[in-house]
Structure 1
Amino acid sequence: MLKKTAFLLLAVAIVQVSSEYIEPQFIEDVIQEQSRTSLGPRIVSGWDAKLGQHPHQAHMRMTNAAGGVSTCGGCFVHHDWMITAAHCTATRVSLLIRGGMISLSETPEYMSETNEFWNYPSYDNSIPQIVQPNDISIVKLQEPIVYTRNLKPIRIQPSADANRNFGEITLHASGFGATWTGGSGSQVLQWVYLRGVSNLLCGLTFGTTIVTDTTICAQWFNVTSQSICQGDSGGPLVYTYPEGKIFLVGVTSFTAGANSGGCHSGLPAAFIRPGHFHDWYTEVTGIDFENLDEVEDETTTTPPTTLPPTTVPPTTEPPTSLPPTTPEGDSNEEGSDEDDTSEEDEDLPELLKRLQVKVKVKVKVNQFRKKVRVVKKIH
């Protein structure tokens, strides 16, 4: 609660001081030869992924009409279909898609090239350099995917859950993007925990023109530099529901601009909620993704369910520490009540020793028991 309040005050202060919203920027990665010579270890303060940990993750290399090349991420959702960001595909003439690997230096289990994709109708393809709402695209794979342990689809967020408030909920993102603002991309797939931010708070940062009902925002979990970055666009933001099923709840879209600190600013990053577009998916593909049996049958890999420490990353299995489930104030109040009860338990034998008259003993004991019942009822 204190974190949420502090962030709200910070966002309001930013708006009041500058009278302008934070400038957002897309996070596709324009490939340059020199950028591949110094590779960092993280998405931004994240960890190397294990093979099969994110089997829905795609890597996409896009080529435009002039021969320029850039990279984005993507999310496999079907044998024949992938979801990514519209700004990744707009004005591109060819997409090379790879999957089923965690290192770009390894031979992928899947690779195909396509030029078939559909950007959401309200997205203006003529100005892909401008941050827009509904930044989502669905891509037709030329070769169908053969599912393996390392290559599987992810369920798309149900339409009934599309407007859920993910504020303060733990999510995770993954990608091959840069490990620092303006830095080089990673050769190894990275993942990071993030904390959901309400649309209200996110709108105070970037403005409600681009933060709409179809937007979901998330920021650092326990280290302010934790974020997605250049090259992660189009990749997945994932939530593990209580029953253990994982769902795609966000498609990576943009972060704060470099002038505002970029990927490591500590400000939220924005994603597109895929649950808002099921009718459109069906119109384009003929598939009802909300009732897709193959995803239920094939997707068995679950993401880490525990949370990272505040310093060193895990070397084998994710750590077991969990985030607080109640606000600090509530925890302190409950602790005080429990301490009071414990002290009264310890004082009872001494009290009985001092009391010699049976009537007085009975009165005192009854008073104590009544007080204990009151304390328990409060809990």
Structure 2
Amino acid sequence: MHTLHTYLLFHVLFCLGQKVHGHDIINGKKAKKNSMQYMAHLTGRGGCGGFLVSEDFVMSAAHCAGLTEVTLGTHNLNKIDRNTMIYSVEKQCQHPNYDNNTLSNDIMLLKLSRKAQMGKKKIKPVKLPSKNPKPLKAKQKCTVAGWGLTKTAGNSADELQVVDVPVIDLKECKNLWGRSLPPEVICAGGYNTPKGICQGDSGGPLVCKGVAVGVVSFNNKSNCDYPDLPNVYTDISKFLPWINDILKKKKC
């Protein structure tokens, strides 16, 4: 069983991994152009993924705090065109109960410095779960996308990558990890499959049937050589009152 010390060491390594400018998903493929118009690339102190949830806010992981710039409307970070929009972060809204040691409540909303230009621009928000969403089924196929590393300490690409990952039963996931996981999580990919997330993908969305259900949170000690242990995502449905309150008031 992993000790808390091992977990804390993992978290330090994971956060350091965010500072590597990687741009890929493990065993994924290039996303079709304009297929994921909600995807955001966050930069500043390191790099993370994120996704547009309203004209004012992008969602990401709380452990990605400190990022100051949001890029929307592009899949290739080296190609800036008329659809690419770059915004400053006006306000970071980390969940008030976020725990930097356990990564519990690992979710954050970033208020943009100005409204996202949608309409003619190739930018639009992704749907969030309804008030009473149907439970995800084990082995249900979902997708995750990002600009993270191709493998542990591996090469990087500049084009958005996407991969299908199967949902893993939460009880099984906790047994596999061999210790307590945060209660508000979803497990998908990284186990019984060579596909999953890597450093730099943090904060990106897990999308099931067109709905963003999870936020990329962590993997096993920054190891992206799968199959290994299940990848862990923050379960968005557990935070809907907090999310909706901020989106309505446009502040935190």
* 1:153 maps onto 2:153 in alignment: no
Partner secondary structure for residue 44 of structure 2: strand
> Separation in 2 of the partners of 1:170 and 1:287?
34
Paired residue for 2:75?
102
Within the candidate set 15, 22, 37, 1:55 is matched to 37
Alignment-mate amino acid for residue 76 of structure 1: L
* 1:270 maps onto 2:232 in alignment: yes
What are the ranges of 5 or more consecutive residues in structure 2 without an aligned counterpart? Answer: none
Offset of 1:53 from its aligned partner?
1.0
* 1:71 maps onto 2:35 in alignment: no
Paired residue for 2:176?
205
Alignment-mate amino acid for residue 247 of structure 1: V
Paired residue for 2:208?
239
Shift in alpha-carbon separation, 1:59–1:210, aligned structure 2, 3 A = same
Offset of 1:113 from its aligned partner?
1.1
Q: Is the contact made by 1:62 and 1:88 (CA closer than 8 Å) also made in structure 2?
A: no
Paired residue for 1:45?
27
Partner secondary structure for residue 132 of structure 2: helix
Offset of 1:284 from its aligned partner?
2.4
Q: Is the contact made by 2:37 and 2:73 (CA closer than 8 Å) also made in structure 1?
A: yes
> Separation in 1 of the partners of 2:240 and 2:72?
24
Paired residue for 2:60?
84
Q: Is the contact made by 1:51 and 1:150 (CA closer than 8 Å) also made in structure 2?
A: no
What are the ranges of 5 or more consecutive residues in structure 1 without an aligned counterpart? Answer: 1-18, 64-69, 241-245, 289-379
The structure that is strand-richer by fraction is 2
Q: Is the contact made by 2:2 and 2:179 (CA closer than 8 Å) also made in structure 1?
A: no
Shift in alpha-carbon separation, 1:196–1:287, aligned structure 2, 3 A = farther
Deviations 1:275-334 (A, max 9, x none): 11121123323269xxxxxxxxxxxxxxxxxxxxxxxxxxxxxxxxxxxxxxxxxxxxxx
Partner secondary structure for residue 187 of structure 1: coil
Partner secondary structure for residue 135 of structure 1: coil
* 1:219 maps onto 2:189 in alignment: yes
Paired residue for 1:338?
none
Alignment-mate amino acid for residue 101 of structure 1: T
Offset of 1:166 from its aligned partner?
3.1
Deviations 1:51-88 (A, max 9, x none): 1111111000033xxxxxx0000010010011100000
Paired residue for 1:305?
none
Within the candidate set 87, 91, 95, 1:116 is matched to 91
The structure that is helix-richer by fraction is 1
Flag as ranges the 4+ runs of structure 1 deviating above 6 A.
Answer: none
TM-score (normalised: structure 1): 0.58
Q: Is the contact made by 1:225 and 1:263 (CA closer than 8 Å) also made in structure 2?
A: no
Q: Is the contact made by 1:215 and 1:272 (CA closer than 8 Å) also made in structure 2?
A: yes
> Separation in 2 of the partners of 1:166 and 1:96?
36
Structure showing greater relative contact order (alpha-carbon pairs closer than 8 Å, 6 or more residues apart)? 2
Deviations 1:107-133 (A, max 9, x none): 162101114111111113xxx4x3411
Within the candidate set 149, 155, 158, 1:187 is matched to 158
Offset of 1:208 from its aligned partner?
5.4
Q: Is the contact made by 2:20 and 2:200 (CA closer than 8 Å) also made in structure 1?
A: no
Percent identical across equivalent pairs?
27
Q: Is the contact made by 2:190 and 2:226 (CA closer than 8 Å) also made in structure 1?
A: no
Deviations 1:202-224 (A, max 9, x none): 11123553241x100101598x3
Within the candidate set 206, 218, 221, 1:254 is matched to 218
Alignment-mate amino acid for residue 43 of structure 1: I
Q: Is the contact made by 2:168 and 2:230 (CA closer than 8 Å) also made in structure 1?
A: yes
> Separation in 2 of the partners of 1:146 and 1:254?
31
Shift in alpha-carbon separation, 1:273–1:110, aligned structure 2, 3 A = same
Paired residue for 1:139?
110
Offset of 1:201 from its aligned partner?
1.1
TM-score (normalised: structure 2): 0.86
Offset of 1:137 from its aligned partner?
0.3
Q: Is the contact made by 1:131 and 1:254 (CA closer than 8 Å) also made in structure 2?
A: no
Shift in alpha-carbon separation, 1:198–1:101, aligned structure 2, 3 A = same
